[in-house]
Amino acid sequence: MTPPARPAPRTVHLSVDPALHRDLVTATVDLTAGGEPLRLSITIPAGRVTAEDLLPVLQELSSLFSRRGEAAVARAGKAISCCAGCGACCRQMVPVAGAEARQLARLVAAMPEPRRSAVRARFAAALATLDAAGLLARIEDAGTITAADQGMAYFRLGIPCPFLEDEACSIHPDRPLGCREYLVTSPPAKCADTDARAIDRVPVAWQVSHSLIATPAGEGWMPLVLALRWAGRAGPAKKQLGPELLAAIFAAASPA
Ligand code: SF4
Ligand code: SF4
């Protein structure tokens, strides 16, 4: 999948109910996405939260903008090629934010046995393949390889996502933001082609995944297969007020 890039410019205005003594607040967000005005009403915790705590809201937003992208291509007479049982894209490098890595590690830890051990073994196998190819150290040593080269080298190794089972996503409701935002109209066979130019991606007006990564609370990014290892080594995540954090994520989608 596309490595994190600068989020697309848009205009964002966010106003929040200031009654912070309550547990939840509802933020009204006015933005322009894909050239169209859009008003969103988003209920979030009023108190101090981590970016991981906001992930359910961000996942909803990510899916919302992906559905809008789907609707736009349908209006243009094109059909989405993606369907269950089609998993070539799940062998690409999937960038996830640190906050998502924490969520995925928690998800795996909560799995019943023997599934938990099976999934952890797939993560370990993926890291072993990266290591054998000399790519693991380069990925972890930031600056020794560009994100684009990293993505291409990773894809050539053909590493299946540890959550891919029978060519379908086994954690579909909890899948990362980047997975939600990756849809194509080109033939599925082209997704297995390492020449990314052959793929027609559905334009998504706001890639929430990129904004989370661009926000300090998102804690950077890494390939999905490093998520468990990273989360196991990371200290506690920083907290900030829910409305402040949401505003920061929206601000990351604004022009500089
Ligand atoms: S992106 Fe490509 S491989 Fe993935 S589900 Fe869609 S058509 Fe299939
Ligand atoms: S999390 Fe699911 S959708 Fe995303 S790459 Fe893995 S198997 Fe595919």
Q: What pLDDT, on the 0 to 100 scale, is given for residue 256?
A: 36
Long-range contacts at 168-174 (CB < 8 A, ≥ 24 apart):
168/84, 168/85, 168/87, 169/87, 169/90, 171/104, 171/107, 174/59, 174/103, 174/104, 174/107
Residue 8 has pLDDT above 80, yes or no: no
Q: What pLDDT, on the 0 to 100 scale, is given for residue 141?
A: 84
Span 236-242, mean pLDDT?
Answer: 94
* CA-nearest residue, atom 5 of ligand 2: 90
Q: Ligand 2 mean position to 19 CA, how many Å?
A: 39
Q: By mean pLDDT, which of 32-36, 121-125, 189-193, 198-202 is the weakest?
A: 32-36
Please give the share of the chain, as a percent, with pLDDT higher than 90: 65
- Is any ligand 2 atom within 6 A of the Cβ of residue 164? yes
Q: How many other β-carbons are positioned within 10 Å of the β-carbon of residue 195?
A: 8
Residue 12 has pLDDT above 70, yes or no: no
**Hey, what amino acid is at 128?**
A
* CA-nearest residue, atom 5 of ligand 1: 82
Q: What pLDDT, on the 0 to 100 scale, is given for residue 246?
A: 93
Q: By mean pLDDT, which of 6-10, 33-37, 84-88 is the weakest?
A: 6-10
Q: Ligand 2 mean position to 50 CA, how many Å?
A: 23
pTM for this one?
0.89
SS3 of residue 41 by DSSP = strand
- Is any ligand 2 atom within 6 A of the Cβ of residue 177? no
Sorted by where each begins, the domain ranges of the chain are: 12-251
Q: Ligand 2 mean position to 13 CA, how many Å?
A: 32
Chain-wide mean pLDDT for the chain?
88
Structure token pair of residue 254: 């604004």
Q: What pLDDT, on the 0 to 100 scale, is given for residue 6?
A: 42
| Pocket-forming residues, ligand 1, beta carbon under 6 Å | 81-82, 86, 88-89, 182, 184, 188, 191
Is residue 36 very low, low, confident or very high in pLDDT (cuts 50, 70, 90)? Answer: confident
By residue count, the chain amounts to 256
Span 200-225, mean pLDDT?
Answer: 94
The whole-angstrom separation of Cα 149 and Cα 175 is 24
Q: What pLDDT, on the 0 to 100 scale, is given for residue 214?
A: 95
Q: If residue 27 lies in a helix (H) or strand (E), which one and from where to where?
A: strand 24-33
Q: What pLDDT, on the 0 to 100 scale, is given for residue 10?
A: 45
Q: What pLDDT, on the 0 to 100 scale, is given for residue 21?
A: 47
Q: If residue 100 lies in a helix (H) or strand (E), which one and from where to where?
A: helix 98-109
Give which of 149, 147, 203, 213 is closest to 177, Cα–Cα.
Answer: 213
Ligand nearest to C-alpha 89: 1
Residue 232 has pLDDT above 90, yes or no: yes
Residue 151 has pLDDT above 80, yes or no: yes
Is residue 3 very low, low, confident or very high in pLDDT (cuts 50, 70, 90)? Answer: very low
Give which of 54, 52, 4 is closest to 27, Cα–Cα.
Answer: 54
Reported as a single tens digit per residue, the pLDDT across 175-185 is 999 999 999 99
